[in-house]
A and B are shown apart, each in its own frame.
Chain A
Amino acid sequence: MIDLAISFWEWLPQWIQILAENILYIVIIMVPLMLSVAYVTYAERKIIGYMQVRIGPNRVGPRGWLQPIADAVKLMFKEIIIPTSSNRYLFLLAPMLTMAPALAAWAVIPFADGVQLADVNAGLLYIIAMTSMGVYGVIIAGWASNSKYAMMGALRSAAQVVAYEIAMGFALVGVLMAGGSLNLGDIIDKQAGGFFNWFWLPLLPLVAVYFISGVAETNRAPFDVAEGESEIVAGFHVDYSGMAFAVFFLAEYANIIMIAALTSLLFFGGWMSPFASWADVPLLGDGFHWFLLKTMFFIYMFLWIRATYPRYRYDQIMRLGWKVFIPVTIVWIFVEAVMAVMQIGPWAV
């Protein structure tokens, strides 16, 4: 039986082999990712619930564990209403355009030493390019709905994302300078040596800028003026229902996980253990569990921020992006250049 399978596999043309292999890898990454997206929504409701001294969802399944599944089933069976005089194709294309880049970026993420789908030289650049494309879904959704509120949300989102993308890009230039490579594997290798050798220490202002910009890029509270339910109902996705809405929802959480994972990769050593000297002790050595733990911590930060801060006003968002973050990153890139010349920190030979 196994022999038969192997000979069948070898009989296939090479390009089908490549294709099948890659699809398998993609499934291995995507399925757990989708599951975690579902449970991040549950975690959000539960954590914010506790923070606000209420219980959160507790009806479906034990302690509400099946709530996300129930939500998904509900949304799947709802009708997708396409507004009259909206642009039908773009209306349906928009949710997919939001989702696709959020998933595509995972191709280059190293989960553990050498475990990644594609080891690309320009991996960091690829990630910036992918995350910068997420805004199209929002803009197209806002425009194709042919509704005032949706349009307002789309315009707000476009301006905001472009503003914060620059700061984010500059923060990543800082990482690039410290890592000396665009390859994510190399960047993590450069952080070897325990908690105080990770990049968060020499790049402290950039960590803050990157993470906050990440919150703004994903249109999360306190930067969620694109949705702004108190002013423009639900912003760009006001006209979406059923599965089309669900895809927007999933994409938002997929992006949160993405930003959290990237923060832990680029500034907190990815799968590196913080206790470099205890590498022999089980579970304290390097491994995937560290990456998971760090990512979960940053997802928790997202939720924590949402439960804590009130929403920014629109002009304050723009001021923070253009007049605070961009100058901070530029100054710190200069400081890094000085550090590199003086051979301090990660640049020590």
Chain B
Amino acid sequence: MSFTEGVFYAFSAIMIMAALGVITARNPVHSALSLVLTFFATSAIWMLLEAEFLAITLVLVYVGAVMVLFLFVVMMLDINITRMREGFMRYVPFGIVIALILVVQMVMIVGPENFGLEQFAEPARHVADHSNTKELGRVLYTDYVYPFEIAAVILLVAIVAAISLTMRRRPETKYQTPGKQVMVKKEDRLRVVSMKAEEKEK
């Protein structure tokens, strides 16, 4: 077993354990953290495949941003786990059957007899200073410019949808406008009333 293989198996093992942790952990925060670990191990495996740009981007986007917000939400929610687990046992047999079918299919289809080295030659290794960032950029902005643009539009729609579904103006809430508070003048708040002096009672 070469050094690379050792690294591969180590990270694969971590990834599978963490992925199992995501679905078995009782605490949603633990699940989310396991997912972070899964992403991390995945990115290490991608690194072995010479996809360093994608690997680092996975860490940057999913670990650094998406999961942070995810944790943020999960921590704020008070999820009642026992209630979520109600009725779980009822669906277990059904779930197991589906999972088994899928596993059998995967073993049949995605095995080495269909996708092994006999069918597909091993891709050539690139030299050390080969920049796949540049390659990706070139392909993305030329050959795949149309799907790339559509993907951008999808993100725009996601923003519009998220904002339109969550942003609401509540006229009943009271809030401060610091600008107005700062700009306030003496005349706005204070009224000097001139009154006659009290006359001494006779």
Contacts and interface: CB of A to CB of B under 8 A. Distances in A.
A adjacent to B, CB under 8 Å: yes
A158 B131 CA distance: 33
Contacts of B65: 132, 162, 165
Nearest to A18: B3
Q: Which of A90, A139, A159 has the most CB of B within 10 A?
A: A139
B57 A125 contact: yes
A165 B64 contact: yes
Contact of B60 (A132, A143, A161): A132
B57 A154 contact: no
B14 interface: no
B56 A139 contact: no
Contacts of B52: 120-122
> Majority SS of interface residues in chain A?
helix
Contacts of B36: 136
B75 A122 contact: no
A140 B68 CA distance: 10
B19 interface: no
A265 interface: no
A161 B68 contact: yes
Interface of B: 3, 29, 33, 36, 52-53, 56-57, 59-60, 63-65, 68-69, 71-72, 75-76, 129, 131, 133, 178
Interface residues of A, number: 26
Contacts of A139: 68, 71-72, 75
A90 B33 CA distance: 10
Contacts of B178: 316
Contacts, number: 64
Nearest to A313: B178
Nearest to B176: A315
Given A139-B71, A155-B72, A159-B72, A133 B59 contact: yes
17 contacts: A15-B3, A90-B33, A122-B53, A129-B59, A129-B64, A132-B59, A132-B64, A133-B64, A136-B36, A136-B68, A139-B71, A154-B75, A155-B72, A155-B75, A158-B71, A159-B72, A161-B68
B131 A121 contact: yes
Nearest to B60: A129
Given A133-B64, A140-B33, A182-B133, A151 B75 contact: yes
A181 to B, nearest CB: 8
7 closest A-B pairs by CB: A132-B64, A129-B60, A129-B59, A125-B56, A158-B72, A121-B131, A129-B56
Contacts of B29: 143
A60 interface: no
A310 to B, nearest CB: 14
A70 interface: no
Contacts of A162: 65, 68-69
Contacts of B131: 121, 182
A136 B56 CA distance: 17
B180 to A, nearest CB: 14
Nearest to B69: A162
B76 A155 contact: yes
Contacts of B133: 121-122, 125, 182
Contacts of B69: 158, 162
A322 to B, nearest CB: 13
Nearest to B175: A315
A227 B59 CA distance: 27
A155 B75 CA distance: 9
